[in-house]
Chains A and B, each alone.
Chain A
């Protein structure tokens, strides 16, 4: 009886959700993508995933040990960061560069700002951008999916680069994932399976990915230079990190707005920036930069989209009417 009769002040949290549980769902949702990445790129992809996860978990443990903070590796967030980081890396990246990326993600982007919940940008994307600037050559060396059967692999352009140079791509291959790219971004279908799982489990909300993808599509129709070309649009949507970014990176709880309107605004920001970078930028891809730039806007977005509390709006209207 005393267990049921529990007196406490509001808010009364009845959900059994914990950080660890949510992170576990995200890992589950990333499984199809990860498995497809391993199938597509071979053992190197698996090694890279293990390396980044180990590096993230180890650096979180070491940082907390050094600064005498509570050990937080049990909340699984470092594992998710490591896995997401690996999915954003090309499979041929040297392992020590991946380790450096994991350390950067956890120590510089997350822990120095106060740990999980305080980071101002997505740690995995922050590390990806760091690696992209630090090791530009290694980070843009994409291999074809067949290269796992060769010793060194051979480089091939990603569909986005082909599109940019005016070439044609096979959209069916892009949906399934038989293309070059980073480990986790190739298969749109595998990503969508995970995303639907997360949405059904209530872990992520559809608002950010939906507004992101819709805005991006509209932008590409207007400024892509191909008019209303379904093939081109599908290729742009499935190519690069857009799907992975929209469903797994932009929806990060810490670095996305908590207000419903703010989430839509955030998605629109991501969509416009991605479109801008892809159409007018120097590179074929711009999802990671678009998302971390939008991450920086989040405090401002939240500030202007605070929902009106119950009863307040009416008073304001009454005042205006009285004037």
Chain B
């Protein structure tokens, strides 16, 4: 498989940031009260992610190792500011409903995570595709959660009433904070079932190739990589 296509597949399915890596949970839980919010948040994060991967990959040789984190943050923050201004100018309604979560893209762990683990170690083109893949994976996750919450909580789909209020009582808990946890948990459970089925069939769908966090306590995949350290997991991936 072409490396760029592999990056896209990796971001959208294999290491989907929402359902597999469990990164960026704060916007995932907070802004997905409707599908359009999820889509908007996902796409704006994708834009930032692509450009930050591009810039960080381009500058990876000039950024000193000791100050790489501040340097990444400066790059990401500049990009987020640009995206925020563009959204305020052209999609004021979406910008208002996403509120503070647009500036908070700066501290989204997907962006810093990809910068640290991929863009700062790879050439420009694969980094861009990595950004697109991860961004689309995030968008997919957020839109799915938003869609389920919107249908159950308001009977709507992208703002269009699909379940008639004459017989459907909206389950308002799903557009509130607890609903985000319930829906996310159910979707992750579905994803895990699918993955298990695929593995049983001999077609492993998602086995994260390398450790993202380097910390097994905070990672949902301690069972998959059997507690191997980042270096070991990477070594194993190389020998394969």
Question: Which B residues touch A253, using CB under 8 A?
Answer: none
Within B71-108, which residues are at the interface with A (CB < 8 Å)? Answer: none
A94–B169 touching, CB < 8 Å: yes
**What's the tally of chain A residues with a CB closer than 8 Å to chain B?**
10
Which B residues contact A (CB, under 8 angstroms)?
Answer: 169, 171-174, 176, 178, 182
Proximity bits, A124-139, B CB within 8 Å = 1, else 0: 0000001001111010
**Contacting residues, chain A, for B173 (C-beta < 8 A):** 130, 133-134
Is A252 part of the contact surface with B, judged by Cβ < 8 Å?
no
Q: How many angstroms from the CA of A130 to the CA of B174 in the assembled complex?
A: 10
B172 close to A136 (CB less than 8 A): yes
Q: Does A97 contact B (CB under 8 A)?
A: yes
Question: In whole angstroms, what is the CA distance A123 to B174 when docked?
Answer: 19
Task: Report which residue of A100, A130, A138 has the largest number of chain B beta carbons within 10 angstroms of its beta carbon.
Answer: A130
**Dominant secondary structure of chain B at its interface with chain A:** helix
CB distance from B161 to the nearest CB of A (A): 18
Contact A97 B169 (CB under 8 A): yes
Chain A residues in the interface with B (C-beta under 8 A) = 94, 97, 100, 108, 130, 133-136, 138
A130 to B169, CA, bound (A): 15
Q: Which residues of B contact A108 (CB under 8 A)?
A: 182
A36 to chain B, nearest CB (A): 29
Query: A135 to B169, Cβ gap below 8 A?
Result: yes
Q: Which residue of B lies closest to A132 (CB)?
A: B173
B174, closest chain A residue (CB): A134
Report whether B169 and A133 are in contact in the complex, using a CB–CB cutoff of 8 Å: no
Q: Which residues of chain B come closer than 8 Å to A138, judged between CB atoms?
A: 169
In the complex formed, the residue of A with least CB distance to B182 is A108
- CB closest chain-A residue, reference B189: A112
CA distance A134 to B172 in the complex (A): 5
Chain B residues contacting A136 (CB-CB under 8 Å) are: 172
Most B Cβ at <10 Å: residue of A97, A100, A135, A138: A135
10 A-B residue pairings within 8 Å (CB atoms):
A94-B169, A97-B169, A108-B182, A130-B173, A133-B176, A133-B178, A134-B171, A135-B171, A135-B172, A138-B169
Top 7 nearest A-B pairs by Cβ distance?
Answer: A134-B173, A133-B173, A134-B171, A134-B172, A135-B169, A130-B173, A133-B176
With a CB–CB cut-off of 8 A, which chain A residues contact B171? 100, 134-135
Taking CB atoms, residues of chain B closer than 8 Å to A100 are 171
Q: Which residues of A contact B176 (CB under 8 A)?
A: 133
List residues of chain B with CB within 8 A of the CB of A94. 169
